Structure 1
Amino acid sequence: METTKLREWLENGGAEGLSWLQLEDFPDTGRGVKTLRPLKSGDIVLTIPGSFLWTVDAAFDDPILGPIISSVKPPLSVEDTLAVFLLFIKSRIERYEGRQAHVKLLPTSYTTSVCFTDEELEICSGSSLYHITKQLKQQIRDDYLQLLNNLFSKHPDLFPLEKFTQNDYMWALCAIWSRGMDFQLPGKQFRCIAPFADMLNHSPDVQLCHTYNPQSDSLQILAGKDYTIGEQVFINYGSVPNNRLLRLYGFVLPNNPYDTYDLVLTTHPLAPLYAQKVTLLESAGLQVNATFPLTLSDPLPLDVLRYLRIQRLSSSEISTVEAKRGARNIVSARNEAEILKALIEACESLLDGFSVPLEKLEANIASSVYQKSDNKWAAAHVSIGEQKIIKMTLQKTRELLALVICAQCGKANENNKRCGRCRRVEFYSEILLELFKRNYN
């Protein structure tokens, strides 16, 4: 019934493509959209006029809601504006039949990580997702209290508190995160939810195929590949790692090639030679408080090593760097050994911080201890992806350290082919120069 109302509302307003698209439940993805006719890659699948989009402008243009939210101080964020807009329409009993038909088709619950129980979230304890989700849950509580004090409690006739609870607010946020589309327009970031188009599921195997045209004020979905009759039509959210897929969209992709682990590096203002090191970091194009994505294809980015080398420079090494800026021999074997050892310790500590080791997670998935597609299963895949990357980082760091230190005595001796302590021939100077000749470009 609601699907029929939504179709009629959209088609009467000029939406195109609904006649050959149909909502259906698929075994692997749940509800999605299938095509009733063949499609070629690049064909226009669906066009939604801008007047039907859920946007900040649409919220402010509403004759009832707009004047109220425009007077809120401090101004509402984009997410809060859209969340209030969704809940306002959901709470009304008249005037908004088209939008209400869309709201009634939205899931009643979500599987994004903020909706996990503590037990479910604990499966990925130690992952970046775990810490971000904990912070998000607290932020949701704080933001809701601000909305309650600055908006809801001041206008109880428009925002009945039994329909604007914290759980309702979190539901609306999850709808925005999982169904919203972002576009970079000249001078601004544009976020919207497009009715019916938001029912399309993600696949990394199709081309990016959703676009917004500000001239025609319309959102279009293009076919990201060829489709036959009855196939599910997908869109592509981009190269998204599992920790972000689960946080925003509520699902994961096993063996996701885009998995990442965000390594955070910072230098304390009280650290020795802080001012000089900040100058060197900035000259190398690096921030003092920096986040480096470690990936399966690049588990140890050069910028991580560049940052750590500067962070661990001694006063004499800084003088050498400043005197020989751009010289190929600014890499110190002492410095290199120190940063690689520190990085090994950091990786080992990170791996120890995961509540469930990689091998046990994989065994639990293989033996169906975690049921496929449930929350624990999804959390396990996030943890597996991040642990694999950190293990690869650890392995690569150990390999580099073996090139720097003497295999006999374990010491790093500067600029010698032969270790001064054990007289064993080593070649780390030439290796370092070749590997790191692009330092501080």
Structure 2
Amino acid sequence: MQSASGTLRTGSRQCEGNALTRRVRVCSRSRPAATARPSSSSSRRRGRPVCAAATAEHKTEAPGLSLMKWLKDNGAPQDKVELRTLEVQAAGRPLDVTVAAQPLAAGDVALSVPEKLVVTLDRIFESEGLAEMLTAGKLSELACLALYMMYEKKVGKEGFWHQYIKELDRQRARGVQAVESPLLWSDEELTDLLQGSPVVAAVRARLAGIEKEYNELDGVWFMAGSLFNKYPFDIPTEAFPFVRFKQAFAAVQASIVHLQGVALARRFALVPLGPPLLSYSSTAKATFKYNPENKCVELVVDRDYQPGEPLYAWCGPQPNSRLLLNYGIVDESNPYDKLPLVVTLPANDPLYKVKRGILQEENLSTLQTFDMKRGQPLPPLLLPYLRLAFATTHEQLDKVVFSEGAAAFDPQLEQIAACHLAAHLNERMAGYKHPLWRDLEILEDPEASPRQKVAARLTKIEKSILQGCLDAVGTCAPCLDAANSPKTSLAVKFSG
């Protein structure tokens, strides 16, 4: 495997893959295997990626062909799709993408992989009950799958899953935008590129959770004898340092498919030719599904494709913050994008109990999170909530109406609420490293790295959402002069 951005790694090599979230199962009774260190000749081939216009001679050297051959040899030839190897100049290495091999029409089954070639927990542990017990008590599905694939890579070249793991190694946990999950960025790079974004705290929290799971691995090792008796290696924390487990976790996370209509122990699946080789989209309607009749995981396309076009699958209703964290991508057309705005009422407010009672009747809380969205930056109930939060008399409380578009009833109260909200939004805008115009410059800069571009894409969207909310607040209460605005003793807290 390769260094800090690899994922499933043995020796000095690391493996990283890219994927979303979902599972099916490893229906292979054959003993799977880990990825061995590539030979010098295969390393040289990796340095010569094949572009779309590559000759047939070069295509025979493409590493992706070995994965296609492996699928064919195991009874799953893929006639409608192929792997296209592209050189991403800014990334400095090739990127493999699943594309249409022939014209496809909406409704066609483009990809069909039998369950014996799909990795899921129920087959890993040879017991659905054990799989659910482990994931419910100690480890997430992703952690169990990561550990399994690490041992499979350690098995070596003869292992069943060698060709699949080799392809994940080649991808190095990169999404279709040639970027790894921020879990694999250095803390300095994370802070520098995403300063001001809530993603920074989310990445650090996820890393803390991964480390906690790493410390539970040895217990799972001893409980899951049906799996680990196959591997004559050391217990997990002795076989793999934390940095390798983190890399493996990121690769599995970037490669996961979330199957619908299956048992819990089969929900998360690793599907050959699926992510990270196949692209995720927030607007696509195609999803991976398990077909019980032919016992395959299938992708039915939702639109027409021409040969050579990359295939897309729906990533679920995830905001871009999660897409970047999970798969290293940011989708600028994402209709599910949002930023949190948290409002906390002070407990020392003389009217705190009365306000809490009113909020409970509206199914709201004294610590309430609102979602600022791209199409609706000012959450519908935010202003009514702030009118109640900053109210100082029972008369004001009696006039608060919790409905979208409820009219202001006290100009002074309205300005207090608007000024405090605007101050918070401006503070968040100032927390970013640079203004919105600089993000646009980075996106147009041919010298910018993929990480710089994906970070600029995310922060541009976040700043646009904040500015949209700020503009909406100014429309509701245009006299926003913080220095001369009415004062209040209530310490209503804003956070994000």
Where on the TM-score scale, by shorter chain, does this alignment land: which range? Answer: 0.7 to 0.9
CA deviations on 1:386-421 (whole Å, 9 max, x unpaired) are: 111111111110111128x99xx9779xxxxxxxxx
* The one of 410, 414, 417 aligned to 1:336: 414
Report SS of the residue matched to 1:320.
Answer: helix
- Cα RMSD of the aligned pairs, angstroms, is 3.8
Separation in 1, partners of 2:283, 2:463: 25
The structural deviation recorded for 1:371 is: 1.0
The structural deviation recorded for 1:68 is: 11
Aligned to 1:303: 381
Structure 1, unaligned runs of 5 or more: 413-441
Please say if 1:40 is aligned against 2:105.
Answer: yes
Separation in 1, partners of 2:414, 2:325: 37
Bigger RCO of structures 1 and 2 (CA < 8 A, at least 6 apart) = 2
* The one of 322, 325, 328 aligned to 1:247: 325
Residue identity in the other structure for 2:105: K
Aligned to 1:83: 146
Judge conservation of contact 2:415–2:485 (CA < 8 Å) in 1. no
Judge conservation of contact 1:208–1:238 (CA < 8 Å) in 2. no
Judge conservation of contact 2:372–2:465 (CA < 8 Å) in 1. yes
Distance 1:304 1:112, change over 3 A: same
The structural deviation recorded for 1:88 is: 2.1
Report SS of the residue matched to 2:370.
Answer: strand
Separation in 1, partners of 2:362, 2:66: 58
- Give runs of aligned pairs for residues 32-181 of structure 1, distance below 5 A: 32-61=97-126, 74-93=137-156, 96-97=159-160, 99-107=161-169, 109-110=172-173, 111-121=180-190, 122-147=192-217, 151=221, 157-159=233-235, 161=237, 163-181=239-257
CA deviations on 1:81-123 (whole Å, 9 max, x unpaired) are: 22222212222248841x2321121035331111112332222
Distance 1:321 1:187, change over 3 A: farther
Separation in 1, partners of 2:131, 2:300: 37
Judge conservation of contact 1:200–1:233 (CA < 8 Å) in 2. yes
Give TM-score scaled by structure 1 length. Answer: 0.77
Please say if 1:229 is aligned against 2:307.
Answer: yes
CA deviations on 1:237-276 (whole Å, 9 max, x unpaired) are: 2454432222111133457665422222333544443333
Aligned to 1:371: 448
Aligned to 1:26: 86
Report SS of the residue matched to 1:107.
Answer: helix
Report SS of the residue matched to 1:19.
Answer: coil
Judge conservation of contact 1:69–1:76 (CA < 8 Å) in 2. no
Residue identity in the other structure for 1:392: G
The structural deviation recorded for 1:149 is: 6.9
Separation in 2, partners of 1:295, 1:260: 4
CA deviations on 1:220-251 (whole Å, 9 max, x unpaired) are: 11123212223322223245443222211113
Separation in 1, partners of 2:187, 2:459: 15
Separation in 2, partners of 1:365, 1:41: 33
The structural deviation recorded for 1:175 is: 1.9
Judge conservation of contact 1:55–1:191 (CA < 8 Å) in 2. yes
Judge conservation of contact 2:419–2:485 (CA < 8 Å) in 1. no
Report SS of the residue matched to 1:185.
Answer: coil
Please say if 1:190 is aligned against 2:267.
Answer: yes
Judge conservation of contact 2:442–2:452 (CA < 8 Å) in 1. no
Judge conservation of contact 2:258–2:268 (CA < 8 Å) in 1. yes
Separation in 2, partners of 1:325, 1:376: 42
Identity of aligned residues (%): 23
CA deviations on 1:348-398 (whole Å, 9 max, x unpaired) are: 111122122223333344455x6152x122222211111111111111101
Judge conservation of contact 2:182–2:203 (CA < 8 Å) in 1. yes
Report SS of the residue matched to 1:354.
Answer: coil
Residue identity in the other structure for 1:348: N
Larger Rg: 1
Please say if 1:390 is aligned against 2:390.
Answer: no
Separation in 1, partners of 2:150, 2:215: 16
Distance 1:73 1:26, change over 3 A: closer
CA deviations on 1:8-38 (whole Å, 9 max, x unpaired) are: 554465536x133211123569311122221
CA deviations on 1:40-78 (whole Å, 9 max, x unpaired) are: 111011112233322221221189xx9899789943222
- Of stretches 253-262 and 80-89 in structure 1, the one that deviates more from structure 2 is 253-262
- Give runs of aligned pairs for residues 235-384 of structure 1, distance below 5 A: 235-238=313-316, 240-253=318-331, 258-317=336-395, 320=398, 331-368=409-446, 371-373=448-450, 375-384=451-460
The structural deviation recorded for 1:215 is: 6.2
Distance 1:333 1:172, change over 3 A: same
Separation in 2, partners of 1:398, 1:42: 47
Judge conservation of contact 2:100–2:311 (CA < 8 Å) in 1. yes
Distance 1:181 1:168, change over 3 A: same
Residue identity in the other structure for 1:141: E
Separation in 2, partners of 1:397, 1:221: 44
